[in-house]
Chains A and B, each alone.
Chain A
Amino acid sequence: GAGVSQSPSNKVTEKGKDVELRCDPISGHTALYWYRQSLGQGLEFLIYFQGNSAPDKSGLPSDRFSAERTGGSVSTLTIQRTQQEDSAVYLCASSLEGRGVGELFFGEGSRLTVL
């Protein structure tokens, strides 16, 4: 596939459970971003990976959220002890250029519902 792939597309979980969301970026893209989109809200920046540099985690809302990127490719966003306010669409994007410039290619998102 040529685009950014995210899985699962939908996830329903119970409050307190942990969830993992996966992102496969476009091959060769060095920059990878996670954003969160809540109903009626814009895209909230969560975390940014650029090559082998330390990730920018400044947007993670709490220590329940973490992300890693293995081998400079696939990324996993983990939410521990989920809360109802974590319900949102989690979007992953990759870019050939880093530093927020150039085109970001978004996946279709993972919709998380916490009951």
Chain B
Amino acid sequence: DTAVSQTPKYLVTQMGNDKSIKCEQNLGHDTMYWYKQDSKKFLKIMFSYNNKELIINETVPNRFSPKSPDKAHLNLHINSLELGDSAVYFCASSQDAAGGPAEQYFGPGTRLTVT
């Protein structure tokens, strides 16, 4: 079984469209994340949810809206797509404890191309 899965793996769309990316984890983790990886491989946190509650919301345009229907799922909806949104989007999850951040498990990524 895949621990963290994302759909779709590839997404090609035109500017101005609205699209969603879905993420599911079957590890029983409490915390889920969205990271963005640009063309130079630079990774940056976008959002973090803990038990369906938004914990981190970085300086991301409000065209990006995450939703966590339950603690196993974290979706990312993007409105009015722009060329600069082209990137690979990674979902991740972790089960954190009092001792500090635990290992994060990453999904395979969704490569978004906006034309």
A and B form one complex: no
